[in-house]
Amino acid sequence: MVNEPFREKVAIVTGGASGIGAALCEELALRGAVVVVADLDGEAAEAEAAMLRGRSQLARGARVDVRNSGEVADLAAAVQAEFGSLDFMFNNAGILSVGEIRDLDPDRWRNVIEINLFGAINGAHAAYPIMLRQKSGHIVNVASLAGLISSPLYAPYAASKAAVVAMSSALRREAAGFGVHVSVVCPGTVHTPIFDRSDLANVPRSAVFKNSPLGRISPQQAAMAILSGVLRNKEFIVFPLLARIMWLAHRVAPNSLDALHRRVLLRFRKERLS
């Protein structure tokens, strides 16, 4: 059954060729939206769009580097010109760097911040003027539970996602009077390729999965939770339930998760490579 709120609406999803992004594209298409699958891997983006078109759903693939504000702006303008509107901008592209700060160099920080933070900034700047002219639209920035609760071993990622949370909250308040909605997504651990592709500093890849304090949900579950939150125009879309409980505990007692973080860090340090 097609969900009417998304029917014939136009959505761009960055990082749309895999993980949460691909699941969002598929769920949006099932609900009748026009989907633009945007990804740095242009071939993968077109393959995802072709799969959706094979199901008689309207989709386009587009190569875009979210670090490049001009490319993102050009894409948003082209989509608006082709389809007549831009209703949803899902700024989902992101990368992960894992390791202790003592093992990280500035280039690692810069790469994470350019993609995670400036990717969301560039997406918002590309979509917001169009939505202001329309007096409608919804910008959805995908952050992380790590953006709400700082955790050891993920400092660049957490810093970038915390900035995305802050930017989203500020934009939501500025945009409210113009008919434009803004939400920020803060999931717990989702089973996506971001872990397989993550940049690791002085630790084996197996340790990243073993030491995760949260169970992982599927991208499809994540996509459904995100769209449910978007439909309700929630400011913070936090899931699954355990992530919401941890967020609440942290807000009520900021040191309540310290013991958990210490255990994770101690286990992690046992597997340092040097």
**pLDDT for residue 243 is more than 70:** yes
| Model pLDDT, residue 3 | 44
**pLDDT for residue 151 is more than 90:** no
**pLDDT for residue 196 is more than 90:** no
Q: Mind spelling out the 3-state secondary structure of 93-146?
A: CCCCEECCHHHCCHHHHHHHHHHHHHHHHHHHHHHHHHHHHHCCEEEEEECCHH
**pLDDT for residue 162 is more than 90:** yes
**pLDDT for residue 167 is more than 80:** yes
C-alpha to C-alpha distances, 78 to 84, 164, 202, 259, nearest whole angstrom: 10, 25, 43, 50
Amino acid at 81: A
Helix H or strand E segment including 12: strand 10-14
Spatial separation of the C-alpha atoms in residues 212 and 108, rounded to whole Å: 21
Average pLDDT (245-267) is 92
| Model pLDDT, residue 194 | 75
C-alpha to C-alpha distances, 214 to 80, 92, 153, 246, nearest whole angstrom: 39, 21, 15, 10
Report the length, in residues, of the chain. Answer: 274
Cβ 221 vs Cβ 192: under 8 Å: no
**pLDDT for residue 214 is more than 70:** no
Residue that the structure tokens 């995802």 belong to: 48
Task: Name the CATH superfamily, with its identifier, for domain 4-269.
Answer: NAD(P)-binding Rossmann-like Domain (3.40.50.720)
Spatial separation of the C-alpha atoms in residues 213 and 226, rounded to whole Å: 22
Catalogue the active-site residues. 157
The overall average pLDDT reported for the chain is: 93
Percentage of the chain beyond pLDDT 90 is: 82
pLDDT band at 271; cut points 50, 70, 90: confident
